[in-house]
């Protein structure tokens, strides 16, 4: 895992992804099951191809739910791939067996939510590919569906009905993905990343830290956290202006992101202060790596480190200890001026 920068929102979102996907699968699977019950209640018969399509949708949904359940709170990447494929296929397959146009449009609502899920939880290129695949499969499902009807089983011009369904369904899916999915992801990125450096902010770092801690397991997990502070930053701002200070912060952020050890989280948590941490096996190597980076950095900085093992919620204690170490390092590097001699009153 590389240090978390602009794309780190994907790591932050991993806390929510299994819950959202699980709810989507539960709801759509329940709706597909309802398709076996509702038509007879209003006096409509279910055609064999409809039964087959709905059965396939239910089987895919249940299969994906089982895979997610076995993955626990942190499903593997493989589990997500399997569940994504199942969700991607289920709705178009169900649409391919539906007779009523209104039923196909109701299925398109499920596809809308799936498209929004793709845009929120996957990187841009991958989400566009998934939304494109979903749209293409949905088009195929409508085209190969049995003779389409509008609201009642009275046969009308099949081509016209299918064309209308396709226009509405495709517009809704692509519109939902672009408008609501992109907006949601943008809001999450704004809330969890620093606008100046594109690193995580404090809120994003704390979410990513908890995710890394939980992903490391339930045993005696070791963590090392380092607080970083730019040397003489106030002087830079005072003498050269805040634009120059911003440039210093961006340069240091880029330098750290490029040279941090593999597996390190990195964030700007306020002002000229950055934080990085490593959870797990190589945590003890972080202070040495930071010392080397401090010697070679074109932007001078000081740092303080803290480590712990086996604590359930160590972040506050690590912050406090690292902050004390940082203060000590700053004092060693830039000791305060000694107080002036107290003036004495001359007499005589």
CATH number at residue 228: 3.30.70.270
Q: Answer yes or no: do 120 and 263 share one domain.
A: no
Q: Phi/psi of residue 271, each to 5°? A: 55, -125
Q: Which of 244, 246, 282 is nearest to 263 (CA)?
A: 282
Residue 75 lies in a domain: yes
Q: Both tokens of residue 44?
A: 């409509």
Q: Answer yes or no: do 214 and 174 share one domain.
A: no
pLDDT tens figures, 303-321: 999 988 877 678 888 999 9
Q: Answer yes or no: do 33 and 176 share one domain.
A: yes
Last residue of a domain, one of 143, 164, 192: 192
Residue 70 lies in a domain: yes
pLDDT tens figures, 211-226: 788 777 666 788 899 9
> Given the DSSP bridges, would you call strands 301-309 and 222-230 parallel, antiparallel or unpaired?
antiparallel
pLDDT tens figures, 255-270: 999 988 877 889 999 8
* Residue listed under structure tokens 């989400």: 127
Domain count, the chain: 2
The pTM of this model reads 0.71
Q: Answer yes or no: do 175 and 207 share one domain.
A: no
Alpha helices in the chain (DSSP H): 9-13, 17-41, 48-71, 77-95, 101-121, 124-144, 158-176, 182-192, 202-215, 233-240, 242-259, 286-296, 315-333
Q: Which of 26, 147, 62 is nearest to 98 (CA)?
A: 147
Residue 93 lies in a domain: yes
What is the crossing angle of helices 17-41 and 48-71, to 10°? 150
Residues of the chain with pLDDT under 50: 1-7, 152, 337, 339-348
Q: Answer yes or no: do 147 and 286 share one domain.
A: no
Q: Both tokens of residue 109?
A: 């609502």
Residue 181 lies in a domain: yes
Last residue of a domain, one of 192, 212, 247: 192
Q: Answer yes or no: do 208 and 164 share one domain.
A: no
Q: Answer yes or no: do 61 and 106 share one domain.
A: yes
Find the domain containing 117 and state its range. Answer: 5-192
Q: Answer yes or no: do 42 and 89 share one domain.
A: yes
219 vs 325: CA distance, rounded Å: 27
Last residue of a domain, one of 173, 192, 211: 192
């Amino acid at each position: 895992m590389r240090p978390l920068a602009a794309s780190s929102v994907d790591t932050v979102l991993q806390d929510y992804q299994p819950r959202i996907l699980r709810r989507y699968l539960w709801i759509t699977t329940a709706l597909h099951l309802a398709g076996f019950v509702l038509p007879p209640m209003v006096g409509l018969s279910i055609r064999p191809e409809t039964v087959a399509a709905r059965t396939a949708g239910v089987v895919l949904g249940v299969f994906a739910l089982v895979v997610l359940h076995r993955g626990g709170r942190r499903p593997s990447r493989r589990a997500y791939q399997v569940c994504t494929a199942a969700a991607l296929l289920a709705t178009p397959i169900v649409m391919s067996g539906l007779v009523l146009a209104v039923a196909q449009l109701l299925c398109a609502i499920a596809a809308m939510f799936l498209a929004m899920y793709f845009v929120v939880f996957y990187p841009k290129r991958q989400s566009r590919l998934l939304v494109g695949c979903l749209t293409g499969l949905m088009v195929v499902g409508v085209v190969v569906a049995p003779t389409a009807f509008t609201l009642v089983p009275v046969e009308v011009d099949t081509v016209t009905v299918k064309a209308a369904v396709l226009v509405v369904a495709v517009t809704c899916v692509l519109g939902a993905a672009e408008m609501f999915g992109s907006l949601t992801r943008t809001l999450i990125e704004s809330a969890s990343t620093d606008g100046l450096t594109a690193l995580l902010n404090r809120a994003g770092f704390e979410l990513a830290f908890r995710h890394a801690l939980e992903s490391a397991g339930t045993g005696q997990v070791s963590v090392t956290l380092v607080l970083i502070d730019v040397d003489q930053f106030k002087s830079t701002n005072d003498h050269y202006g805040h634009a120059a200070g911003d440039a210093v912060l961006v340069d240091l952020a880029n330098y750290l992101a490029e040279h941090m050890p593999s597996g390190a989280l990195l964030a700007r948590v306020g002002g000229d202060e950055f934080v990085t941490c490593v959870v797990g096996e190589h945590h003890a190597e972080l202070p040495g790596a930071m010392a080397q980076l401090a010697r070679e950095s074109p932007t001078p900085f000081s740092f303080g480190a803290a480590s712990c093992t086996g604590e359930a919620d160590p972040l506050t204690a690590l912050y406090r200890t690292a902050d004390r170490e940082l203060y000590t390092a700053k004092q060693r590097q830039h000791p305060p001026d000694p107080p002036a001699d107290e003036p004495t009153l001359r007499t005589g």
